[in-house]
């Protein structure tokens, strides 16, 4: 048996090493801690996860927030705006 993910739109933000005032509120609100190396830490459904610079941060369909490595993001998602 096979299944395909339903096409859904999610909010995303790319982590950069420097603070960015354009970061959306949902992302700012989800940050638990920030590292000196530009990493951001998020409390996710699977525990605390790290988003390194270059990683994408995703707000899922139920409002959950989690990081995604760039190479996985590029294989799984398509930017639409």
pTM score of the predicted model = 0.88
CB atoms within 10 A of CB 73: 19
Residue 20 is predicted with a pLDDT of 86
Q: What residues does 48 pair with on adjacent strands?
A: 43
What is the DSSP secondary-structure string of the chain?
A: ----------EEEE--SS--TT--HHHHHHEEEE-TTS-EEEEETTEEEEE-TT-EEEE-TTS-EEEE-HHHHHHH-----
Please tell me the distance from the alpha carbon of residue 43 to that of residue 29, in angstroms, as a whole number.
Answer: 11
pLDDT above 80 (res 19): no
Residue 40 is predicted with a pLDDT of 96
What are the domain boundaries of the chain? Answer: 11-76
Residue 45 is predicted with a pLDDT of 87
pLDDT above 80 (res 15): yes
Q: How confident is the model over 32-77, as pLDDT tens digits?
A: 999 999 999 999 989 999 999 999 999 999 999 999 999 999 999 9
């Amino acid at each position: 048996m096979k299944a395909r993910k339903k096409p859904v739109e999610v909010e995303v933000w790319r982590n950069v090493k420097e603070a960015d005032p354009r970061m959306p509120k949902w992302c700012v609100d989800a940050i638990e801690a920030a590292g000196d190396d530009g990493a951001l830490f998020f409390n996710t459904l699977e525990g605390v996860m790290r988003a390194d610079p270059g990683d994408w941060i995703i707000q899922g369909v139920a409002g959950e927030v989690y990081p995604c490595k760039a190479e996985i993001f590029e294989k799984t998602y398509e930017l639409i705006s």
